[in-house]
Amino acid sequence: MRPELPARRVLVEGIVCALGAGLLWGLVFVVPLMLPDYPPAILSCGRYLGFGVIALLLAGTDLPRLQRLQRQDWRMACELALVGNLLYYLFLAAAIQLADAPLPTMLIGTLPIVIAIAANFGSEALPWRRLLPSLLVIAVGIALVNSHEMALLGTRRSPHDYLLGALLAVAAVLAWTWYPLRNSRWLRQRPTLASGTWAVAQGLATLPLAAVGMAAAAFLFQDPGGFDYPLGPQPLRYVGLMLTLGLCASWLGTLLWNRASRLLPTALTGQLIVFETLSALAYAFIWRGTLPGGLALLGIALLVSGVILGVRAFRAG
């Protein structure tokens, strides 16, 4: 936390940055539903090709600071790009296409609890008696929304698809539990590393990985009667959505999250990932043209209340 800023201002700025990142990251949950004919590998590699191209264009404006990055910085950027970007979105996109958006969204929604608990074993731990009330409220909120969605399972997907989608969503949870903890720890070890520079660096590290993944996908889609590699049946929509995700969800979302990670304790930023869950739910309901039921609304209210309790707990701490 920067000493020249009042603690309240730092807290508010960090929360606003986390909220902005959550609103942008929520977009990634609805795009697989907008492109149902596209394999998850094509969606994941396409999104991060877009991120890499945008980062390449932005690199020229931040070249002096990028040149000051050391070899270990680039190695960490590659690790974060592989696990937190490509693998995470590959698992998530596959889970959404198999099980629809709400079920994977709710499993991903456990991230605020999982990350907060994992982070609270670190050096900036908050007493558990202060942290647990907010985590319990968030857990009940997730359970209520999930019970609403589970009641609809039989009407949209087969049990096999739901099970496989759930397992892939759990893999996405593991990938994204590792990412913010590692990213936050690295930023705290590099206090002079600007949030924007680190976002661009991760985009540059993602570009060759996504390019290799897209090239490897060519061997998976050689069947003339299968997927029309590389741009698929709706090329303009695909390219437009991939560039939108690359700019908004990947670059700007990463920039805002880096800023929040620098300003706030990791256990608090872990809870604030609930903004992504709420945004994804809202976008999914809009895309489906339905309204959440009473249990879902109550669960959403509890999710918001849990975040407020968590913020108050860290202010008191």
Lowest mean pLDDT among 84-98, 212-226, 288-302: 212-226
User: Could you tell me the two tokens for 172?
Assistant: 């996405």
The answer to whether residue 209 is domain-embedded is: yes
Chain mean pLDDT for the chain:
82
The answer to whether residue 2 is domain-embedded is: no
Per-residue pLDDT, averaged over 3-30, amounts to 82
pLDDT at 149: 61
Lowest mean pLDDT among 116-125, 166-175, 194-203: 116-125
- The whole domain housing 171 covers 7-316
Q: Are 114 and 297 in contact (CB under 8 A)?
A: no
Kindly tell me if the per-residue pLDDT of 4 is higher than 70.
no
The answer to whether residue 1 is domain-embedded is: no
Kindly tell me if the per-residue pLDDT of 2 is higher than 50.
no
Kindly tell me if the per-residue pLDDT of 306 is higher than 60.
yes
Residue % of the chain over a pLDDT of 90: 25
Over residues 53-99, the pLDDT tens digits come to 999 999 988 899 999 999 999 999 999 999 988 888 889 888 877 87
Please tell me the total number of residues recorded for the chain in this structure. 317
Residue % of the chain over a pLDDT of 70: 88
The answer to whether residue 207 is domain-embedded is: yes
Higher pLDDT, 248 or 32: 248
Domains in the chain, number:
1
C-alpha Rg value of the chain to the nearest Å: 19
Kindly tell me if the per-residue pLDDT of 34 is higher than 50.
yes
Note every long-range contact of 308-313, with CB atoms under 8 Å and residues 24 or more positions apart, other chains counting: 309/133, 309/134, 309/137, 310/116, 310/131, 310/134, 310/135, 310/138, 310/268, 310/271, 310/272, 311/11, 311/15, 311/268, 313/126, 313/130, 313/131, 313/133, 313/134
Kindly tell me if the per-residue pLDDT of 120 is higher than 80.
no
Q: Which position has the token pair 């698992």?
A: 91
The answer to whether residue 148 is domain-embedded is: yes
Kindly tell me if the per-residue pLDDT of 165 is higher than 90.
no
Per-residue pLDDT, averaged over 184-200, amounts to 89
- Report how many helices (DSSP H) and strands (DSSP E) the chain contains, helices first: 16, 0
Over residues 246-267, the pLDDT tens digits come to 999 889 998 999 899 888 887 7
Model confidence band, residue 1 (pLDDT cutoffs 50, 70, 90) = very low
Q: What is the pTM of this model?
A: 0.78
Number of other residues whose CB lies within 10 A of the CB of residue 3: 7
Kindly tell me if the per-residue pLDDT of 124 is higher than 70.
no
pLDDT at 3: 43
The answer to whether residue 248 is domain-embedded is: yes
Kindly tell me if the per-residue pLDDT of 153 is higher than 60.
no
pLDDT at 195: 86
Kindly tell me if the per-residue pLDDT of 298 is higher than 80.
yes
* DSSP assigned state of 126: P
Kindly tell me if the per-residue pLDDT of 154 is higher than 60.
no
Per-residue pLDDT, averaged over 209-221, amounts to 82
